[in-house]
Amino acid sequence: MVLLIGCDNSSLVIDRLCDEAVKEDTVVMCFYFDFAARNEQSPVNMLGSLLRQLVSGQENIPEAVVQSFRERKRGIGGRGLQVSGVLEMLQTIAATKRTFICVDALDECVPAHRIVVLESLRQILRGSPNTRLFVTGRQQVRSEVEKRFGGATTFISIQPTEDGVVR
Amino acid sequence: MSQNFSDNCNSINIANSFNYTPSDDESKILAWLSPLEPWVRHRDIGAERVDGIGAWILETREFRRWRNVSSEDESNHATLFCDGNPGVGKSYIM
Chain B partners of A81 at a C-beta cutoff of 8 Å? Answer: 32-33
Nearest CA in chain B to A85: B33
Q: Kindly report the average pLDDT of chain A as a whole number.
A: 85
Chain B partners of A166 at a C-beta cutoff of 8 Å? Answer: 54, 56
Q: What is the pLDDT of residues A12-58, one digit of tens each?
A: 888 888 877 776 778 899 999 999 999 999 999 999 999 999 998 78
Q: Is B1 on the interface with A (CB under 8 A)?
A: yes
Q: What is the predicted pLDDT for the residue at B77?
A: 80
In this prediction, residues A71-84 reach a mean pLDDT of 77
Q: How many Cβ pairs closer than 8 A exist between chain A and B?
A: 235
Nearest CA in chain B to A40: B36
Nearest CA in chain B to A108: B86
Q: Is the distance from CB of A10 to CB of B46 less than 8 angstroms?
A: yes
Q: What pTM value is reported for the model? A: 0.81
Q: Is the distance from CB of A154 to CB of B65 less than 8 angstroms?
A: yes
The ipTM of this complex is 0.84
Q: What is the pLDDT of residues A117-135, one digit of tens each?
A: 999 999 999 988 889 999 9
Average pLDDT by stretches of 10, chain B with 94 residues: 43 41 73 91 78 81 83 70 79 76
- DSSP of chain B, one letter per residue? -HHHHHHHHHHHHHHTTTTS-GGG-HHHHHHHH-S--HHHHHHHHHHHPPTTTTTHHHHSHHHHHHHH--TT-SS---EEEEE--TTS-HHHH-
Q: What is the predicted pLDDT for the residue at B84?
A: 83
CA distances from A20 to A81, A91, A165, B28 (A): 32, 22, 24, 30
Of chain A, the percentage scoring pLDDT greater than 70 comes to 84
Q: What is the predicted pLDDT for the residue at B22?
A: 47
Residues 26-65 of B with CB under 8 A from A: 26, 28-30, 32-39, 41-43, 45-47, 49-50, 52-58, 60, 62-63, 65
